[in-house]
């Protein structure tokens, strides 16, 4: 019972994460280093990451709605994640960091932007994992409900057959004048 409740609570938690999606995590980008109040890559990067994350999230939500087995869907989802990751890394390499006065500021800009990308990648990975788990559990629940419905149908048929047999036995007992042990002596 306790384990069932724990599984139920985990399912609810994963469903909540799946509903909120990547956009909630995207709002919590890492704070910039105290030495640099704002990096030059953030506006361009944030716009790009938000757009790509929404596209990836929409793909996963639509892709995992398929009636195929979850195991079959995971490979395609992992390929899409690798494409998403490659786009983010490619974007990082193409960023312009503007004019900086020294190498330390430029390095700080690159580190902060990499932290932001890492945060989005981690959020996407967690989102994918939670969506896959929620999808598998949903499909398991649907399969279980279908099996229960089949069992219920078979039990209903069995109940009718037992009722029919009972009726035949009552008719038979009325047509036979007596049972051997209860017959009056001749």
Answer yes or no: do 131 and 110 share one domain.
yes
pLDDT at 24: 47
Percent of the chain with pLDDT over 70: 68
Answer yes or no: do 110 and 72 share one domain.
yes
Answer yes or no: do 131 and 171 share one domain.
no
Answer yes or no: do 79 and 160 share one domain.
no
Answer yes or no: do 55 and 126 share one domain.
yes
Answer yes or no: do 7 and 92 share one domain.
yes
Q: What is the pTM of this model?
A: 0.57
Domain ranges, residue 125 = 2-142
Answer yes or no: do 38 and 129 share one domain.
yes
C-beta of residue 92 within 8 angstroms of C-beta of residue 114: yes
Answer yes or no: do 82 and 15 share one domain.
yes
pLDDT at 160: 94
Number of domains present in the structure of the chain: 2
Answer yes or no: do 91 and 127 share one domain.
yes
35 against 60, higher pLDDT:
60
pLDDT at 178: 62
SS (H, E, C) the chain: CHHHHHHHHHHHHHHHHHHHHHHHHHCCCCCCCCCCCCCCCHHHHHHHHHHHHHHHHHHHHHHCCCCCCHHHHHHHHHHHHHHHHHHHHHHHHHCCCCCCCCHHHHHHHHHHHHHHHHHHHHHHHHHHHHHHHHHHHHHHHHHHHHHHHHHHHHHHHHHHHHHHHHHHHHHHHHHCCCCHHHCCCC
Mean pLDDT of the chain: 75
Q: 4-21: per-residue pLDDT in tens?
A: 454 444 444 444 444 455
């Amino acid at each position: 019972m306790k384990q069932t409740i724990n599984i139920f609570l985990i399912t609810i938690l994963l469903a909540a994460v799946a509903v909120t999606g990547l956009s909630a995590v995207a709002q919590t980008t890492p704070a910039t280093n105290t030495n640099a109040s704002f990096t030059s890559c953030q506006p361009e990067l944030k716009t790009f990451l938000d757009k790509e994350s929404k596209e990836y999230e929409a793909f996963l939500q639509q892709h995992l709605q398929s009636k195929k087995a979850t195991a079959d869907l995971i490979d395609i989802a992992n390929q899409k994640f690798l494409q998403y990751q490659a786009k983010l890394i490619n974007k990082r390499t193409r960023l312009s960091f503007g004019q900086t006065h020294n190498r330390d500021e430029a390095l700080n800009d690159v580190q902060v932007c990499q932290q932001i990308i890492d945060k989005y990648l981690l959020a996407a990975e967690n989102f994918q994992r939670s969506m896959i788990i929620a999808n598998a559990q949903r499909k398991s629940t649907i399969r279980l409900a279908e099996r229960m419905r089949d069992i219920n149908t078979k039990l209903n048929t069995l109940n009718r057959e037992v009722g029919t047999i009972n009726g035949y036995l009552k008719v038979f007992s009325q047509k036979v004048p007596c049972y051997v042990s209860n017959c009056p002596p001749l």
